[in-house]
């Protein structure tokens, strides 16, 4: 078990730079998820930790030891690949024992460690089978078993669930999290799925275009996104972002969006008169108001999608498409205009130019 | 054909070829089969005839079956010795070809180094270079190595000239081994050599069988190299053995035919036994399985 320090790491493929100075500190026993859209460099960063890609500039330390020039086998890391990468000609037992055999561990120890890993992962009945005789979820477990038997300093997961169907993905998500609780090994986990990131991580690293946008625990990222990218990326459905200008008069503050629509803000909201901003409000932060007022805004309903326990409404506010989610069973109809009240405490303001969060 | 009816009923729902198409298919298959089978059958039957009958009735069934032709060859020590020589040379050729070509192909497929492509193309050039054109320099080189009249003097040139094709086939197969397997093995603690031994070779059985059989058949039928390199009769492989039946003034054709039939029999048997592997190996990598 060990910490992982990533210090100002750059990566270039030829003349194309894909990581522009990434720094992340991962604590011992921590479950850290690297998340971002495809092409953001998260997998490259993981592969650099594993030693499968060279580091162009910067340092990576595992357990306080610089590993820049160490080959993967000397880094004491285990990796689970997206398509499992099981050795097709070996049984489940041999797949899991392979690294120990290479390390010339005694037979009895190999036997014992594989058995124990198989018990943890419910694979004891499948040890003599070949990967082709297993289902997707079982193969995924074998891939994890191969990592577990080695008892490495760090587990690296590269989008391990993206080949599974939705139901199995939810199940395996819980299994991986439970496994982490049991083993308490440091985990670095890459995914493009922000739901996976939110549900599994102790801390999330949001990456975009080769830089780290924000690092924090799931709730912090959700409640106080640092910038427009994180605001739009974390949360499902995504946060509604409406551009406008700050207006102030008589102690009242608002954002004036297109066509003079006023979006309410709390009185102590940051920002100067006339500043160009983006007004961010989460779909669940809207409440239906009985009548229009200073703290409400008109919403024109477009599509109503009941999901059973809530209603998702695609609507227009100030000419912008927004999404609102209500837990009440409202009888909303298309083309209907209703007054909604954004919860002022959970309204986010971002500078339109820099995309940075405005802080009071 | 609907999506839902696929599976068990797939074979029934496939459109049957019309009469003209069927006629065409059977005719062309028949012609191809005839081209292969007629010489084989003629050779086998010719071995049962007398020389006189062979002259007047080369293709038909023998009127009087001369079992003695085959029997005399089968009980002669020479036949078995030549078969043994051929087998030894072929096995050595296969072994060396597989060992050298698989290692070279692995390097060319997986290791990026300066001149990788150039070296590959250099090996491929060997494909365009028939062994007969190089026979004189080859003879001189083998003589200088002091390998004349030895099995290795035949085996080494055969291996060398088989490398181009073998490396080409093996490399294309190795390149299709998923990259993730290599990375997984790398993280698991193996290097190139152990990856080659524990992962690549076991996964490459079909292509190794193909290359091995091609090398075997090639060596089995090889005539010019042993003819030039070997002097003592007790080292002759079977293609040279036929020469005993060719006298200065006459040739015992019926014995030649019987001899050929008996000596190609092992290759035919091996081919049928390994047929599945050969076809799988030749088409491997052509489409994603």
Q: What's residue B14's pLDDT? A: 59
Query: Model pTM?
Result: 0.79
Tell me what ipTM this predicted complex has.
0.81
Structure tokens at A181: 């609780």
User: Residue B279: pLDDT above 80?
Assistant: no
pLDDT digits (tens, 9 = 90+) for A62-107: 999 999 999 998 999 999 998 888 999 999 999 999 999 999 999 9
Question: Which of A51, A88, A102 has the CB atom closest to B188's CB atom?
Answer: A102
Q: Is B286 exposed, middle or buried (0-12, 13-18, 19+ CB in 10 A)?
A: exposed
Contact residues, chain A, for B186 at CB < 8 Å: 51-52, 71-73
C-alpha B1/C-alpha B16 separation (Å) is: 13
C-alpha B152/C-alpha B93 separation (Å) is: 9
Cβ separation A103–B203 shorter than 8 A:
no
Could you give the C-alpha distances from A108 to A36, A101, A111, A113, B201, in angstroms and in order? 43, 11, 5, 9, 27
In chain B, whose CA is at the least distance from the CA of A94?
B198
CB proximity B30 to A under 8 Å:
no
If one counts every other C-beta atom within 10 angstroms of the C-beta of residue A108, the result is 8
Cβ separation B188–A99 shorter than 8 A:
yes
CB proximity B34 to A under 8 Å:
no
pLDDT digits (tens, 9 = 90+) for B216-251: 888 988 888 999 999 888 888 988 888 777 776 777
pLDDT digits (tens, 9 = 90+) for B62-113: 888 888 888 888 888 888 898 899 999 999 999 999 999 999 999 999 888 8
User: Residue A338: pLDDT above 60?
Assistant: yes
| Residue B217 near residue B268 (C-beta atoms within 8 A) | no
Cβ separation A102–B189 shorter than 8 A:
yes
C-alpha B210/C-alpha B162 separation (Å) is: 13
Using the structure block, give the residue that is written with the tokens 């003349």: A15
Going by C-alpha positions, the residue among B256, B239, B258 that lies closest to residue B247 is B256
Instruction: At B231, give phi and psi (nearest 5°).
Output: -115, -40
User: Residue B178: pLDDT above 50?
Assistant: yes
Least Cα separation, residue B186 to chain A (angstroms): 6
Instruction: At A44, give phi and psi (nearest 5°).
Output: -60, -45
Structure tokens at A175: 């299994």
Mean pLDDT of A150-156: 92
User: Residue B288: pLDDT above 50?
Assistant: no
Cβ separation B187–A89 shorter than 8 A:
no
Contact residues, chain A, for B194 at CB < 8 Å: 102
Q: Which residues of chain A have a Cβ shorter than 8 Å from any chain B Cβ?
A: 50-52, 71-73, 77-79, 81-83, 85-89, 98-99, 102-103, 146, 150
> Do you find a cis peptide bond into A237, omega within 30 degrees of 0?
yes
Going by C-alpha positions, the residue among A21, A10, A37, A47 that lies closest to residue A188 is A47
Confidence category of residue A196, pLDDT binned at 50, 70, 90: very high
What is the DSSP annotation of A82-144? TT----TTS-HHHHHHHHHHHTT--HHHHHHHHHHHHHHTT-GGGTTS-GGGS-HHHHHHHHH
* A7 three-state secondary structure: strand
Q: Which residues of chain B from 191 to 250 reach within 8 Å of chain A, CB to CB? A: 191, 194, 198-199, 202-203
Contact residues, chain A, for B207 at CB < 8 Å: none
CA-based torsion, A221, A225, A229, A232: positive or negative = positive
Domain locations in chain B as residue ranges: 2-46, 77-285
Mean pLDDT of B167-189: 90
Q: What's residue B124's pLDDT? A: 86
pLDDT digits (tens, 9 = 90+) for A107-134: 999 999 999 999 988 899 999 999 989 9
* B239 three-state secondary structure: helix
CB proximity B112 to A under 8 Å:
no
Pairing between β-strand A203-208 and β-strand A31-35 as defined by DSSP bridges: parallel
Instruction: At A41, give phi and psi (nearest 5°).
Output: 100, 5
pLDDT digits (tens, 9 = 90+) for A263-302: 999 888 888 888 999 999 999 999 998 888 888 899 999 9
Mean pLDDT of A309-333: 90
| Residue B252 near residue B51 (C-beta atoms within 8 A) | yes
Could you give the C-alpha distances from A92 to A114, A118, A139, B182, B198, in angstroms and in order? 10, 9, 9, 18, 15
Q: What's residue B177's pLDDT? A: 86
| Residue B124 near residue B104 (C-beta atoms within 8 A) | no
Least Cα separation, residue A60 to chain B (angstroms): 17
Confidence category of residue A214, pLDDT binned at 50, 70, 90: very high
User: Residue B282: pLDDT above 50?
Assistant: yes
C-alpha angle B231/B232/B237, rounded to 5°? 90
C-alpha count within 13 angstroms, C-beta hemisphere, residue A97: 20
Among left, alpha and beta (phi > 0; psi -120 to 50; other), residue B135 is: alpha
Q: What's residue A113's pLDDT? A: 93
- The mean predicted confidence, pLDDT, of chain A is 91
| CATH class for the region spanning B77-285 | mainly alpha
Could you give the C-alpha distances from B148 to A307, B144, B226, in angstroms and in order? 86, 9, 10
Cβ separation A89–B194 shorter than 8 A:
no
C-alpha angle A156/A160/A162, rounded to 5°? 150
CB proximity B265 to A under 8 Å:
no
Structure tokens at B128: 């365009």
Percentage of residues in chain A with pLDDT exceeding 70?
99
Q: Between the CA atoms of B204, B207, B213 and B219, what dihedral angle is there, to the nearest 10 degrees?
A: -100
In chain A, whose CA is at the least distance from the CA of B182?
A85
Confidence category of residue A1, pLDDT binned at 50, 70, 90: low
The helix (run of H) or strand (run of E) holding residue A23 is strand A16-26
pLDDT digits (tens, 9 = 90+) for A240-255: 999 999 998 888 889 9
Percentage of residues in chain A with pLDDT exceeding 90?
68
Structure tokens at B70: 């085959």
Using the structure block, give the residue that is written with the tokens 């409440």: A287
């Amino acid at each position: 078990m060990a910490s992982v320090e990533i210090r100002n790491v750059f990566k270039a493929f030829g003349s194309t730079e894909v990581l522009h100075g990434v720094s992340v500190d991962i604590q011992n026993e921590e479950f850290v998820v690297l998340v971002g859209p495809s092409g953001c460099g998260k997998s490259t960063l993981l592969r650099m930790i594993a030693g499968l890609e060279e580091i162009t500039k910067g340092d990576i330390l595992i357990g306080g030891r610089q590993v820049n020039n160490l080959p993967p086998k000397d880094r004491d890391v285990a990796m689970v690949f997206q398509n499992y990468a099981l050795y097709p000609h070996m049984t489940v037992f041999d797949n899991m024992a392979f690294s120990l055999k290479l390390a010339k561990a005694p037979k009895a120890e190999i036997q014992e460690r594989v058995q124990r890993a198989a018990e943890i992962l419910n694979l004891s009945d499948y040890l003599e089978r070949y990967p082709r005789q297993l289902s997707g979820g079982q193969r995924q477990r074998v891939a994890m078993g191969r990592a577990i038997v080695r008892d490495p300093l760090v587990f690296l997961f590269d989008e391990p669930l993206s080949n599974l169907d939705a139901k199995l993905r939810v199940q395996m998500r819980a299994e991986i999290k439970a496994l982490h609780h049991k083993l308490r090994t440091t985990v670095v986990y890459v995914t493009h799925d922000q739901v996976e990131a939110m549900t599994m991580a102790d801390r999330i690293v949001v990456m975009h275009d080769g830089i780290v946008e924000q690092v924090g625990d799931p709730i912090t990222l959700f409640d106080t996104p640092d910038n427009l990218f994180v605001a739009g990326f974390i949360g499902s459905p995504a946060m509604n972002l409406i551009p406008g200008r700050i207006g102030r008069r008589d102690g009242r503050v608002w954002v004036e969006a297109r066509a003079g629509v006023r979006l309410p803000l709390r009185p102590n909201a940051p920002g100067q008169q006339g500043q160009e901003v983006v007004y961010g409000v989460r779909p669940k932060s809207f409440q239906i108001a009985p009548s229009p007022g200073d703290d409400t805004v008109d919403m024109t309903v477009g599509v109503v999608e009941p999901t059973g326990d809530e209603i998702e409404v695609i609507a227009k506010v100030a000419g912008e498409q927004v999404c609102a989610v209500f837990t009440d069973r409202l009888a909303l109809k298309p083309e209907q205009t209703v007054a909604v009240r954004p919860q002022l405490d959970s309204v986010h303001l971002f500078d339109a130019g820099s995309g940075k969060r405005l802080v009071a | 054909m609907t999506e839902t009816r696929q599976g068990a009923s797939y074979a029934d729902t496939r459109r049957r070829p019309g009469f003209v198409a069927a006629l065409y298919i059977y005719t062309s298959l028949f012609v191809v089969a005839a081209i292969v089978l007629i010489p084989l059958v003629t050779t086998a039957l010719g071995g049962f005839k007398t020389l006189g009958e062979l002259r007047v009735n080369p293709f038909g069934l023998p009127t009087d079956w001369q079992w003695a032709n085959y029997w005399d060859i089968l009980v002669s020590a020479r036949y078995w010795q030549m078969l043994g020589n051929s087998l030894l040379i072929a096995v050595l050729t296969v072994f060396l070809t597989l060992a050298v070509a698989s290692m070279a192909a692995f390097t060319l497929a997986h290791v990026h180094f300066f001149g990788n492509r150039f070296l590959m193309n250099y090996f491929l050039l060997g494909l365009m270079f028939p062994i007969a054109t190089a026979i004189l320099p080859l003879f001189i080189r083998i003589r200088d190595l002091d390998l004349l009249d030895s099995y290795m003097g035949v085996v080494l040139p055969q291996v060398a000239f088989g490398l181009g094709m073998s490396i080409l086939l093996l490399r294309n197969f190795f390149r299709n081994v998923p990259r993730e397997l290599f990375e997984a093995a790398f993280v698991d603690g193996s290097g190139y050599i152990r990856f080659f031994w524990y992962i690549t070779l076991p996964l490459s059985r079909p292509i190794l069988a193909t290359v091995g059989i091609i090398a075997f058949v090639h060596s089995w039928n090889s005539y010019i190299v042993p003819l030039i390199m070997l002097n003592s009769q007790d080292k002759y492989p079977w293609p040279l053995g036929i020469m005993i039946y060719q006298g200065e003034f006459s040739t015992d054709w019926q014995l030649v035919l019987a001899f050929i039939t008996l000596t190609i029999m092992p290759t035919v048997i091996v081919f049928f036994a390994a047929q599945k592997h050969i076809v799988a190996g030749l088409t491997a990598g052509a489409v994603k399985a």
